[in-house]
Structure 1
């Protein structure tokens, strides 16, 4: 990406123009003015024409967003559903995979997102077991170890692709190869991947993949994507149904034969209009170019942090993403986030509840997290580093 392109991105983003230094794109990124306009335009239609009467245009916005999401993931539009959050999307698919039986096994990485583990407790209460796949020497989930754990009782393999508390990029495709060979359901939590690096559901061999709209996609809060492999859809029986997800037909109420069986008739078309615009912007920009820019920026920041006394990086894996987990001596991660926020510098912070298995295994109580975007420039990096050096002193 050229300096001109980066400047144009920043000029089209109100948060950048307001002087904010934002390094919390893994929590929620900054929307463009065009994304805000798309939301407001649909709200104006609903105010002027009536909320229900504006639904026809709203449905067109949802279709546009579905096609844009499908393009980004290399999936058919019929395999895309929308939800209110990434956790909600994952939970809907997980609950639909039941019923769970005593002795069922769920295999997860050590870095599994805490919200997913919480959802799995329904299966545990039914007698299923959650088992952790061993890591390789780099700290990533080991496909060879996974292959050695497979038996007829394994009902689900679930992978958090890019964990919230490190720069790790788990080997999602290699895990998918194991799952496909054995015919085991494979879910991917791609909350930190979609919008940061290329995601091709065809090569990943996943049955379900989810991501939030508010993170690297720069969409609005209250939106999320759920991909369901078409051939896998009949195995999922959602408990949540209404006249949209299970419309009345010749045989009575029948589930839709596409991913919209996970949606309901009540939806914010305004938010989907904003999400659709954000997805279209990402597709025009090019996800490969985004990933190259994120890789360059994060490498520079990591190198600079290594030269700041008192800072420890907590990266795992052979190659890292644009999520940079670190601690600063004598500082709690959440307090560090708060103190930088007072200076107009946004970063993230994670506690044990976010990734409990990994945080406990590594003896971490909290970490601070920098997450980068093509929106960030040299000036942002310098402001952040100067602030960290000053707090250290």
Structure 2
């Protein structure tokens, strides 16, 4: 492999304690946190234990307020456009379930759509009489923007797009979708679950009305954190499905007023330590620069695909004209779960994407599941070679 040098990998690894313990190629599941994120969480938990939860939160309030500002800088948004959540799923649900659907409304989605989102579509369709339609892929395997354009009419209420699927390395053409949605006046919801933290995200260029993401994946934050971007145009048209005294004000015994910022999608109670950890993770990513992170992650993804394609019996399944740091593959004659287990014995973390996660996609490609290796900027070329060597040994053993 040729060297990929666009940031200080040695420093990144020295600031990531987990790099000394495991070859972690499951960053699309949960990435290894930098020490400063873990320290931030633990420091606040200790403050709660010593001074009380309310008191520790009051002391941390300036830093808590700064978390939204950090996320806003990550997305080129305003702090008032950012809501905090306990997961990407909750963030996504909070905006989706606020949209009022009626009989005949159409929801356009993609073949890369994730199971949780698709289940929500089907539930709302059953409740309201709305219709769910899957936009076709083009010859490269990404969403076909021409097919999307053909489907638009005045009954389309929502375009929902998964930017990067859980089951593959393609990057859907979100900016083109945003252009189409904006011209048509259709709400555009972008699930950035797998792209936030590995790709540059600019909501002004994406033209999305809402974007959701977790902290635990490529952003390297704590589990139990997520966030939601909601633009002013959409906030004026919706009211959250659930409110509390944080998202709204009880103005008199018979009335309430919903806050006009994205805070309307938050609830009062949260894990303060994890939220501070999320802010530390976002600031850490920004300190490296998302352009440098994206360049290295995508380069490592390309290198890994090249390595895997050299191994007999290993087939790479990533699609799309643009690809990222998620690499999916199968090993002939060996179930994906067994591949994952054998790699774990070799000290390599990967995961498996099941067809139950992607019923619009994997069954259509004749795939019951795929092994998913997802690289991050702190991974090394030697770690990729170690994965390839372990797979080659597994293939040799099973072919005897």
Q: Distance in 1 between matches of 2:275 and 2:315?
A: 40
Q: Give SS of 1:291's match.
A: helix
Q: Give ranges in structure 1 of 5+ residues lacking alignment.
A: none
Structure 1: distance between partners of 2:239 and 2:356: 29
CA distance in 2, matches of 1:264, 1:319: 37
Cα distance in 1, alignment partners of residues 309 and 281 from structure 2: 34
Residue segments in structure 2 that go unaligned for 5+ positions in a row:
none
Which one of the candidate residues 376, 380, 384 is aligned to 2:379?
Answer: 376
TM-score, normalising length from structure 2? 0.95
- Quick one: which of 313, 316, 321 aligns to 1:313? 316
Q: Identify which of 14, 17, 22 aligns with 1:14.
A: 17
| 1:236-251 matched pairs, under 5 angstroms | 236-249=238-251
Name the residue aligned to 1:256.
259
Corresponding residue number in structure 2 for 1:285: 288
8 A Cα contact 1:61 1:269, kept in partner: no
- The residue number in structure 2 matching 1:103 is 104
Question: Would the alpha carbon gap of residues 271 and 182 (structure 1) be closer, same or farther in structure 2, given more than 3 Å must change?
Answer: same
Distance 2:213 2:351 in 1: 18
- SS at structure 1 position matched to 2:371: strand
Q: Note the C-alpha offset of 1:385.
A: 1.2
SS, match of residue 289 in structure 1? helix
2:86 maps to what in 1?
84
Aligned length: 391
What are the within-5 Å matches in structure 2 for residues 304-383 of structure 1? Answer: 304-383=307-386
Which residue of structure 1 aligns with residue 48 of structure 2?
Answer: 46
The 2-side partners of 1:85 and 1:182 are apart by 30
Contact 2:352 2:369 in 1 (8 A): yes
Aligned residues of 2:6 and 2:295 also touching (Cα < 8 A): no
Structure 1 moving runs of 4+ over 4 Å:
1-4
Residue 152 of structure 1 corresponds to which residue in structure 2?
154
CA distance in 1, matches of 2:176, 2:317: 24
Question: Distance between the aligned counterparts of 2:24 and 2:169, measured in 1?
Answer: 18
Partner of 1:112: 113
SS at match of 2:188: strand
- TM-score calculated relative to the size of structure 1: 0.97
1:296 equivalent in structure 2: 299
Change (3 A) 1:184 1:221: same
Over the residues paired in the alignment, what is the CA RMSD in angstroms?
Answer: 1.4
Deviation, structure 1 residue 4: 7.5
CA distance in 2 between partners of 1:177 and 1:256 (Å): 29
Aligned partners of 1:148 and 1:282: how far apart in 2? 39
Cα 1:302–1:255 shift into 2, 3 Å: same
SS of the equivalent of 2:219 reads coil
**Which residue in the other structure is 1:389 paired with?**
392
Q: Could you tell me which residue of structure 2 aligns to residue 169 of structure 1?
A: 171
Q: Give the Å deviation of 1:2.
A: 4.5
Is 1:273 the counterpart of 2:270? The answer is: no
1:88 Cα shift? 1.2
Deviation at 1:352, TM superposition (A): 0.8
1:334 and 1:350 in contact (8 A); partners too: no
Is 2:74 the partner of 1:64? no
Name 1:179's counterpart in structure 2: 181
For 2:334 and 2:66, locate their aligned partners in 1 and report how far apart those are by CA, in whole Å.
45
Q: 1: distance between equivalents of 2:299 and 2:6?
A: 14
| Secondary structure in 2 matching 1:334 | helix
